Amino acid sequence: MGTLYSNPAGLGFYRKSDVSITPGLNFAGTRTNMLGTETRDNKQSFNIANIGIVFSGAKDDIVPGKFRGGSFGISMTRTNNFQNQFSYSGFNKANTFGQSIAESARGYTYDEVAGQDLNALTDIVGLAYNAYLIDPVYCGEDFQGNPIQCPGNPWRSNMSDNIVKQKEIVATKGNQSQWDIAYGANIDDKIYLGASLGIASIKYEASKVFTETNTQASDTIDSYSLHDNLTLRGTGINLKVGAIFKPADWIRIGLTGQTPTYYSIRTTYEYKIKMNLNPDFVNEFGIDESFQSFSTLPGTYNYNLTTPARAKAGIALFAGKAGFISGDVEVVGYSGARLKGADPQELDADNDVIKNLYKTTFNFNLGAEARLGDYRLRAGYARLGDPYRPGIVDNLDRTINTITFGAGLKSEGFYADIAFVNTFYKSNYYSYHLNSGKEPMAIVNNRNTSLVITIGTSF
C-alpha cells in the first residue's frame, strides 16, 4: 500500500483489489546534555501509520492488447511523528533568560511597554516587564527632570548576575500526514506509469515550561517559570508522477518526481509567567500575590510554506520467487523552501536565511525480503542526510538513520506483517538567544522505536 505514497506507478502491478491498515506504537526516548548534566526522558504514543484501499482494473491474461489495465487507490500515510519529550536541568554561571528578553526589548520605549493593558498583553516583552523580570535603564534626565532611557541598552534583567539554576521541559505532539489519490497503469507488463494527488496536513503542538532560580540572594526575584505554548495547523497539496520499467523479470527500475508541497499554515501562541518574588520586595512595594502571574492574549499568525520538490530513482533485483533486494536514492533541495506572509516582502529576510542555511541532500534506502513459502522475512536501512550547510550553525551531524526488521505471512486473500523500526539522530536546542552568542545549547540524542503491524485482505 505504501506505493501510493512512494511511487504511484506501483499500482500497475496490482492484480486484485486490496485494503489494509497499519496501526503502530511509538516509543520515543531522549538523552539531553546541557550545562554539564544529562537528563533522560521517554514518551509513548499510538498512531495509524497507513490505511488504504486499491481497486484493481487489471485485464485478464486472455484479453489482447498492450494496455493491461490499471488500478485506482486512496491511502493515508503518516510521514512525520512529532510525539517527543526532552528536558534538562543545570547551573548557568554565564547568563540568564532575562538578559535575552532585555535584548529583544531594545526596540521598545518605556511608555510603549508600561502603557500596555495588563488584561491584553500581546508579547513577551510586556509580559516580562509587568512580571518585574526586566526594567528600564536610565541615563540622566531631560530639562523637565524626566528620566531618559539609555539609547544603546535601554533595558536590564532583574535576575541576579550570579549563578542561576535553569530547568526546562519541552513536550511536543502531532504529526504530518498525507492522503494520496492515485492511479497506476500497466503497459505490456513492462512499463508502469502512475500519478497521484497528495493532500498533506500538519498538526503540531509544543508546550515548554522554563524555570530559572536564583541560587544566591536577590533583591527582586527568587525564581520564575515561563510557559510557552504553540499550536500549528496546516494543509497542503502536491502532485507526483512515477514510472517503473521491467526489462526482465529479475529487474525493476523506478523513477519518481514530486512537485513542491504548497502549505497554508496557521499558528497560535501564548505565554504565561509565574513569579516567585523576594518577600522583602513584595512587602516594600505592597505587591498583591495576584500580580505575580501574567498571561498574554492568544496570538495568531498565518503564512504560506512551499517545501522543496523531490526526485527519486531506485532499482530492485529479484531472485525468482525466493526474494529480492531493492534500493533507491532521493534528492531534496532544502534551500528551495520558501515562506510567504500577508505582505509579499514580509518574510524576505527569513527566506534569505533558508537559502544560506540549508543545502541539497541525498536520502538513501536499502531493503531486502526473503520468501519462505507463505512467510516473509525483511530488513531495511534508511539514511536521511543532514540538511544544514556545514559549519554555519554548528558542527552537529543531524543525519537520521533508521534500521528496520520485519516478518510477514501471506496467504490466499489475507496477509499480516509486523515490523520493528529503530530511528536515531541528534538535534540541538536553545532556550533563548543572546547577541553575544554565549547562550547555552542542549544536545539531544533522539531514539524512536516503533512496533508496526499491517493487516490486509485482497478481494
Question: Among 45-54, 240-249, 362-371, 383-392, which stretch is predicted with the lowest mean pLDDT?
Answer: 383-392
CA-CA distance, 371 to 388, in Å (whole number)? 40
DSSP state of 335: G
pLDDT tens per residue, range 348-407: 999 999 999 999 999 999 999 999 999 999 999 999 999 999 877 788 999 999 999 999
Domains of the chain, CATH where assigned: 3-93+163-458 (2.40.160.60), 97-158 (no CATH)
Q: Number of H helices and number of E strands within the chain?
A: 6, 23
How large is the average pLDDT for residues 313-322?
96
CA dist., res. 109 & res. 149, Å (int)? 8
Residue 301 CB neighbour total at 10 angstroms:
12
Q: Give me the pLDDT at residue 50, please.
A: 97
Measuring CA to CA, how many Å separate 389 from each of 176, 253, 359, 385, 426? 25, 31, 6, 11, 16
Q: pLDDT-based confidence at 291, cuts 50/70/90?
A: low
pLDDT of residue 152: 76
pTM of the model: 0.88
**Which has more pLDDT, 447 or 152?**
447
Candidate from 117-126, 266-275, 352-361, 419-428 with smallest mean pLDDT: 117-126
Region 301-306: what's the mean pLDDT? 96
The pLDDT mean for the chain works out to 93
- Predicted pLDDT of residue 280: 80
pLDDT of 448 higher than 80: yes
pLDDT at 245 over 70: yes
pLDDT in tens, 207-235: 999 999 988 877 788 899 999 999 999 99
For the segment 107-135, what is each residue's pLDDT rounded down to a tens digit? Answer: 888 888 888 888 888 889 999 998 889 99
Give me the residue label for grid cell 535584548: 103
Say what the pLDDT of residue 11 is.
Answer: 97
Is residue 285 scored above 80 in pLDDT?
Answer: no
Portion of the chain with pLDDT greater than 70, in percent: 99
Asked if residue 383 lies in contact with residue 400, where contact means CB atoms within 8 angstroms, the answer is yes
- Residue range 436-447, pLDDT digits in tens: 888 999 999 999
**Does 289 score more than 70 pLDDT?**
no
Give the mean model confidence (pLDDT) for residues 328-356: 94
Please list, in sequence order, all residues whose beta carbon lies within 8 angstroms of the beta carbon of residue 409, skipping any fewer than 6 positions away: 374, 375, 376, 415, 416, 417
